[in-house]
Homo-oligomer: A and B are copies of this chain.
Amino acid sequence: MIRCIGASAGGTASGGGALGQRDRHLQYDSPGQPRIGAQANPLTTKLEQFVCFTADEILALDRLTNTAKFLLAGQDLIREGERPEQISLIVSGMACRYKLLADGRRQILALLIPGDLCEVEFGRFSWPDHSIALLGDALISSVSFAQLAGLRVQYPRFDRALSLSELIETATLREWLLNLGQRNAMQRIGHLFCELRVRLRAIGHLHDDGSFDLPINQAVLADITGLTTVHVNRTLQRLRAEGLIELKQRRLVIRQPEKLVELCGFDDNYLRVAR
């Protein structure tokens, strides 16, 4: 659990390792192309759950992701109270919305995955009540508020799809509240894993064996679930011992999805939308 109030949210200070981290990153995601770059535009994939796009629209959305930049783990995309200049689109990697308490405790409010837009809600009229940090190195492209507004006007289907995905984001927030309020440690963690599996599948980020990358350490897991690192560790061990999951090297396999779903009362309804 991160107890430092400072900027670095992805780990207890990246220290002087900024350069080192970049090296590691390039090495990790190489050779040459960023691994995810070869895949379809995650924004398109995500929104096509809700609407059908024309070739025109797909091209316009692709243009958004062309300009993605590498950013290093732990960096803040927006900070509580500071009005953002631009909207960030996650092209690859993961980020989280979070809030800090005065004593340094952190609650993660949402996980953002490829295809998610960050600051849509903070237009001309509002400032953020929370921060957003990268959980691992990431590819981020920036979109100006004006540019996005233009696209929404020009492409009503895109506009509708975005609205729907905002609805789902809010529904997810509600489900997380239920998670923290009513479920125990095993269920909380299990529920998160079930949710991530559905969301990552929707953007084509499951591996062939159904597993997925989870660039997250146990301290982050603790900040998501409102538990301590120690208890997360012990709970993961129980989940492993019961043959429900495998988790190592930042990759998660859900061994018995039906059992896990039942254990934590997961129902993916809140991730869907009518029509």
How many Å lie between the Cα of A178 and that of B181 in the bound state? 11
Contact A177 B175 (CB under 8 A): no
**Does A171 sit at the interface, judged by CB under 8 A?**
yes
Give the bracket for the number of chain A residues in contact with chain B: 35 or more
Closest Cβ of chain B to A78, distance in Å, is 14
Partner of A174, one of B171, B173, B274: B173
B-contact bits for A90-129, CB 8 A (1 contact / 0 none): 0000000101011001010100000000000100111101
Contact B129 A174 (CB under 8 A): yes
**Does A201 sit at the interface, judged by CB under 8 A?**
no
Q: How many copies does the complex hold?
A: 2
Contact A175 B129 (CB under 8 A): yes
Contact B275 A124 (CB under 8 A): yes
**Does A136 sit at the interface, judged by CB under 8 A?**
no
- Chain B residues within 8 Å of A124, by CB: 275
- Chain B residues within 8 Å of A269, by CB: 81, 129
**Does A247 sit at the interface, judged by CB under 8 A?**
no
- Chain B residues within 8 Å of A167, by CB: 121, 125-126
How many Å lie between the Cα of A23 and that of B176 in the bound state? 40
How many Å lie between the Cα of A174 and that of B129 in the bound state? 9
- Chain B residues within 8 Å of A109, by CB: 174, 177-178
**Does A59 sit at the interface, judged by CB under 8 A?**
no
Contact A107 B181 (CB under 8 A): yes
Q: Which of A176, A182, A269, A274 has the most CB of B within 10 A?
A: A182
Given A109-B178, A226-B182, decide whether A126 and B274 contact each other with a Cβ distance below 8 A. Answer: yes
- Chain B residues within 8 Å of A173, by CB: 170, 173-174, 177
How many Å lie between the Cα of A269 and that of B124 in the bound state? 17
**Does A273 sit at the interface, judged by CB under 8 A?**
yes
Given A170-B173, A174-B130, decide whether A182 and B101 contact each other with a Cβ distance below 8 A. Answer: yes
- Chain B residues within 8 Å of A231, by CB: none
**Does A214 sit at the interface, judged by CB under 8 A?**
no
How many Å lie between the Cα of A127 and that of B105 in the bound state? 35
